[in-house]
Copies of this chain bind each other. A is one copy, B any other.
Amino acid sequence: MWGPRQPGQRWWQRAVRRRLPVLGWLPRYSLSCLRLDLTAGVTVGLTVVPQALAYAEVAGLPVQYGLYSSFVGCFVYCLLGTAKDVTLGPTAIMSLLVSSYAFHDPAYAVLLAFLSGCIQLAMGLLHLGFLLDFVSCPVIKGFTSAASITIGFNQVKNILGLQGIPRQFFLQVYETLRRIGEARILPVPKAHPRGCAFVTSPPPVFDDPRASLRGSSPATSHCRAGDAILGLSCLAALAGLRAMKSRLHPTASTEPLAARASVLLVRSCATARNALVVLAAGLVAYSFQLSGSQPLTLTGSVPCGLPPFRPPPFSKAVPNGTVPFGRMVQDMGAGLAVVPLVGVLETVAIAKAFASQNDYRIDANQELLAMGTANILGSFFSSYPITGSFGRTAVNAQTGVCTPMGGLVTGTLVLLSLAYLTSLFCYIPKAALAAVIISAVVPMFDARIFRTLWRVKRLDLIPLCVTFLLCFWEVQYGIMAGVLVSGILLLYSVARPPIKVLEQGVLLVQPGSSLHFPAADHLQDIIRDRALAASPPCSVILDCHHVSSIDYTAVVGLAELLQELHKHGISLVFCSLQDPVLRALLAADLEGFRHFPSWEEAARCSEAELGGSRAACIDSTGESSLLPAGLIQ
A282 interface residue per 8 A CB criterion: no
With A359-B567, A487-B491, A490-B518: A137-B552 Cβ-Cβ less than 8 Å: yes
- Looking at A20-28, A88-96, A326-334, A509-517, the stretch in contact with chain B turns out to be A509-517
A303 interface residue per 8 A CB criterion: no
Give complex CA distance A460, B553 in Å: 9
Residues in chain B near residue A134, CB distance under 8 A: 491, 495, 517-518
Give complex CA distance A498, B519 in Å: 19
Report the minimum CB–CB distance from A83 to chain B (whole Å): 15
Give complex CA distance A120, B456 in Å: 39
With A546-B548, A560-B356: A588-B456 Cβ-Cβ less than 8 Å: yes
Pairwise interchain contact A555-B136, C-beta atoms closer than 8 A = no
Which residue of B130, B520, B584 contacts A456 across the interface (Cβ within 8 Å)?
B584
A197 interface residue per 8 A CB criterion: no
Interfacial residues of chain A within 344-399, with CB under 8 A of chain B in the complex: 352, 356, 359
A587 interface residue per 8 A CB criterion: yes
Identify whether the interface residues of A are mostly helix, strand, loop, or mixed. helix
Pairwise interchain contact A552-B490, C-beta atoms closer than 8 A = no
Which residue of B137, B359, B522 contacts A553 across the interface (Cβ within 8 Å)?
B137
Pairwise interchain contact A494-B498, C-beta atoms closer than 8 A = no
Number of interface residues of A (CB under 8 A): 56
Which residue of B457, B460, B548 contacts A498 across the interface (Cβ within 8 Å)?
B548
Pairwise interchain contact B549-A136, C-beta atoms closer than 8 A = no
Interfacial residues of chain A within 563-612, with CB under 8 A of chain B in the complex: 563-564, 567-568, 584, 587-588, 597-598
Of A493, A517, A546, most B-chain CB atoms within 10 Å: A517
Pairwise interchain contact B555-A457, C-beta atoms closer than 8 A = yes
Residues in chain B near residue A518, CB distance under 8 A: 133-134, 136, 490
Interfacial residues of chain A within 551-565, with CB under 8 A of chain B in the complex: 551-553, 555-556, 560, 563-564
Counting from the closest, the 6 A-B pairs by CB-CB distance are: A512-B548, A136-B517, A137-B553, A455-B587, A133-B518, A460-B552
Residues in chain B near residue A495, CB distance under 8 A: 130, 133-134
Give complex CA distance A516, B138 in Å: 12
Residues in chain B near residue A460, CB distance under 8 A: 551-553
With A456-B584, A487-B491, A518-B490: A138-B552 Cβ-Cβ less than 8 Å: yes
A255 interface residue per 8 A CB criterion: no
Give complex CA distance A597, B624 in Å: 10
Pairwise interchain contact A549-B493, C-beta atoms closer than 8 A = yes
Report the minimum CB–CB distance from A464 to chain B (whole Å): 9
Give complex CA distance A623, B545 in Å: 14
A452 interface residue per 8 A CB criterion: yes
A484 interface residue per 8 A CB criterion: no
Q: List 22 A-B contacts (CB under 8 A).
A: A133-B521, A133-B522, A134-B517, A134-B518, A137-B552, A137-B556, A138-B552, A138-B553, A356-B560, A359-B564, A457-B551, A457-B552, A457-B555, A459-B551, A460-B551, A460-B553, A486-B517, A493-B516, A493-B549, A497-B548, A513-B546, A598-B624
Residues in chain B near residue A137, CB distance under 8 A: 517, 520, 552-553, 556
Report the minimum CB–CB distance from A173 to chain B (whole Å): 29
A239 interface residue per 8 A CB criterion: no
Give complex CA distance A459, B548 in Å: 15
A550 interface residue per 8 A CB criterion: yes
Which residue of B453, B490, B546, B555 contacts A491 across the interface (Cβ within 8 Å)?
B490
Give complex CA distance A546, B514 in Å: 10
Residues in chain B near residue A546, CB distance under 8 A: 513, 546, 548
Report the minimum CB–CB distance from A553 to chain B (whole Å): 4
Residues in chain B near residue A551, CB distance under 8 A: 136, 457, 459-460
Residues in chain B near residue A564, CB distance under 8 A: 356, 359
Pairwise interchain contact B514-A513, C-beta atoms closer than 8 A = yes
Residues in chain B near residue A459, CB distance under 8 A: 551
Question: A516 — nearest CB in chain B belongs to which residue?
Answer: B490
Give complex CA distance A53, B148 in Å: 65
Question: A514 — nearest CB in chain B belongs to which residue?
Answer: B513
Residues in chain B near residue A497, CB distance under 8 A: 548
Residues in chain B near residue A549, CB distance under 8 A: 493, 498, 512
Give complex CA distance A598, B622 in Å: 14
Give complex CA distance A189, B356 in Å: 85
Give complex CA distance A130, B130 in Å: 29
Question: A546 — nearest CB in chain B belongs to which residue?
Answer: B546
Question: A513 — nearest CB in chain B belongs to which residue?
Answer: B513
Residues in chain B near residue A486, CB distance under 8 A: 517
Report the minimum CB–CB distance from A503 to chain B (whole Å): 20
Question: A579 — nearest CB in chain B belongs to which residue?
Answer: B631
Question: A519 — nearest CB in chain B belongs to which residue?
Answer: B133
Interfacial residues of chain A within 446-462, with CB under 8 A of chain B in the complex: 452-453, 455-457, 459-460
Report the minimum CB–CB distance from A351 to chain B (whole Å): 12
